[in-house]
């Protein structure tokens, strides 16, 4: 037997701002929020990684700029 496709049986839900806000509030109640200690620890890790990456990119840029300056002399 052939499988028939659903034709017109699906109905689209109309967007409702109020139901969206209500569902969002319900979902936020289920979120596992970090403790203050975890938040401070993770913030420290992020700041350390960002600072290290910034210094690395600066050092590479400065080194490549110097090398290019020597080559083009």
- Average pLDDT of 23-40? 95
In this prediction, residue 36 carries a pLDDT of 97
37 or 9, greater pLDDT: 37
Indicate the burial class of 32 (C-beta count within 10 angstroms; 0-12, 13-18, 19 or more): exposed
pLDDT tens readout for residues 2-23: 556 556 566 777 889 999 999 9
pTM of the model: 0.59
């Amino acid at each position: 037997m052939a499988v028939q496709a659903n034709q017109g049986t699906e109905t689209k839900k109309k967007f409702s701002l109020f139901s969206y806000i209500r569902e969002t509030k319900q979902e936020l109640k289920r979120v596992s929020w970090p403790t203050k200690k975890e938040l401070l620890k993770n913030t420290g890790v992020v700041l350390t990684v960002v600072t290290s990456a910034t210094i690395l990119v600066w050092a590479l840029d400065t080194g490549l700029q110097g090398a290019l300056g020597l080559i083009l002399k």
